């Protein structure tokens, strides 16, 4: 499987650890209050977890939705919540999905108010009706500050952040979703293998367990 290129290593660590090094601040819990910043919301798991996963996702993608609803909850429960995996999500809206960019921006704006993970799940459930009305409806259901949410969605910087994720993915040959980079941070550099497709839980568990065993040698 292709490995993350050296040119993208620092960028990958930035996405994963919320800084240009593996020693960045702790992730914000999905249930945290609105103190979450634009750079904290999409990472969960212990900062010093032995295994790291970066997911690249498209919120209009049916395969991404299947992974998010059928596989990720168990991975989160058994590996992220137990301190074994640090997990980050990057955006990769695909050209054939006209609503994916807007959905990615809306999820980021929900993340700035501490509700990224719940909002992301809700978007996957509403995948067939994505659009401004559904973004606002879901935001209201979660009790978000609607004035801030609207202003955030109009902020050009949000699209630029999505495009930065897209550039990172594509610089490593990732052009479909869902895609994952699974590996470890070694000497401040993230070294991982690229996996594409909504693989079953057992596939991810085997990859993670192998890395965990290697980290203990």
Whether 26 is in a domain gets the answer no
Distance CA 78, CA 82 (A): 6
Assign residue 174 a region (left: φ > 0; alpha: ψ between -120 and 50; beta: otherwise). beta
Whether 1 is in a domain gets the answer no
Q: What is the pLDDT of residue 8?
A: 45
Q: What is the pLDDT of residue 40?
A: 75
Helices 9-17, 156-171: inter-axial angle, 10-degree rounding? 130
Cβ count near 197 (within 10 Å): 12
Whether 72 is in a domain gets the answer yes
Question: pLDDT of the chain along its 217 residues, tens only?
Answer: 455 543 344 445 455 543 223 223 323 233 333 334 445 799 999 989 999 999 999 999 999 999 999 999 999 999 999 999 999 999 999 999 999 999 999 999 999 999 999 999 999 999 999 999 999 999 999 999 999 999 999 999 999 999 999 998 988 889 999 999 999 887 777 788 899 999 999 999 999 999 999 876 6
Whether 140 is in a domain gets the answer yes
Cα dist from 35 to 28, 108, 110, whole Å = 9, 14, 12
Based on the structure, what is the number of domains in the chain? 1
Distance CA 114, CA 73 (A): 19
Distance CA 34, CA 31 (A): 9
Whether 146 is in a domain gets the answer yes
Whether 118 is in a domain gets the answer yes
User: What CATH number does the domain containing 94 carry?
Assistant: 3.40.30.10
- 24 and 7 Cβ atoms separated by less than 8 Å: no
Whether 108 is in a domain gets the answer yes
- 19 and 25 Cβ atoms separated by less than 8 Å: yes
Whether 53 is in a domain gets the answer no
145-163 in b/e burial notation, b at 16+ Cβ within 10 A? eeeebeebbeeeebbebbe
Range of the domain at 14: 8-20+36-48+59-180+199-211
Q: What is the pLDDT of residue 34?
A: 34
């Amino acid at each position: 499987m292709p490995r993350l290129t050296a040119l993208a290593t620092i960028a990958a660590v930035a996405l994963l650890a919320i800084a240009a090094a593996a020693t960045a601040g702790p992730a914000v819990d999905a249930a945290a209050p609105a103190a979450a910043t634009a750079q904290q919301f999409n990472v969960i798991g212990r900062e010093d977890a032995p295994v790291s996963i970066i997911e690249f996702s498209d919120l209009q993608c049916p395969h991404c939705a299947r992974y998010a609803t059928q596989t990720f909850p168990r991975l989160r429960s058994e590996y992220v919540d137990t301190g074994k995996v640090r997990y980050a999500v990057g955006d990769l809206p695909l050209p054939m999905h006209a609503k994916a960019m807007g959905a990615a921006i809306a999820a980021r704006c929900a993340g700035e108010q501490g509700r990224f993970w719940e909002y992301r799940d809700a978007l996957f459930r509403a995948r067939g009706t994505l659009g401004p009305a559904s973004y606002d409806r879901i935001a209201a259901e979660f009790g978000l500050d609607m004035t801030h949410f609207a202003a955030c969605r109009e902020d050009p910087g949000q699209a630029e952040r999505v495009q930065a994720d897209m550039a990172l993915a594509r610089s490593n040959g990732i052009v479909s979703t869902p895609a994952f980079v699974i590996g470890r941070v070694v000497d401040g550099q993230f070294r991982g293998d690229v996996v594409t497709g909504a693989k079953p839980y057992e596939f991810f568990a085997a990859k993670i367990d192998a890395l965990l065993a290697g980290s203990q040698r």
